[in-house]
Amino acid sequence: MWSFIASYWIKQTGKEKLFILIILALLLFGIGKGAQAGYYKYQYFKQIEKEYKTLKEITDAANKKEGELIGSITDNHKTAKKKNADTDKKLKEDEATINDSDVSDDDILEFISKHQK
């Protein structure tokens, strides 16, 4: 193959050799630029992937913290709701006790006015 290229090269004139060298130089330049563009594209996507992973970790941590806060708030809400129900139950029991007692309203008013002095 090299003998074919060498014999072809020898048969060419000076302008044809110059033209062939220019074409080869442009071809090598194009290949180099293509490789360079591919390498820069690779580096760019590698950087984007790294940033994506970092942001995904931050988002996952934030979602986990949000879940913990929502769980805590839910527990606090359930506790407060239960305490409120217990307080209402106790209030109804106290009202029932007062309504069922033998002490009249007049006796209560007399007791209060006696102790206000």
What is the spatial distance between Cα 32 and Cα 40, in angstroms, rounded to a whole number?
12
Q: Between 100 and 32, whose confidence is greater?
A: 32
Tell me: the pLDDT tens digits for 56-65? 999 999 999 9
What is the spatial distance between Cα 116 and Cα 44, in angstroms, rounded to a whole number?
85
Tell me: the pLDDT tens digits for 47-87? 999 999 999 999 999 999 999 999 999 999 999 999 999 99
Q: What is the pTM of this model?
A: 0.50
Tell me: the pLDDT tens digits for 22-46? 999 999 999 999 999 999 999 999 9
Residue 12's contacts (CB-CB under 8 Å, 6 or more residues apart) are 20
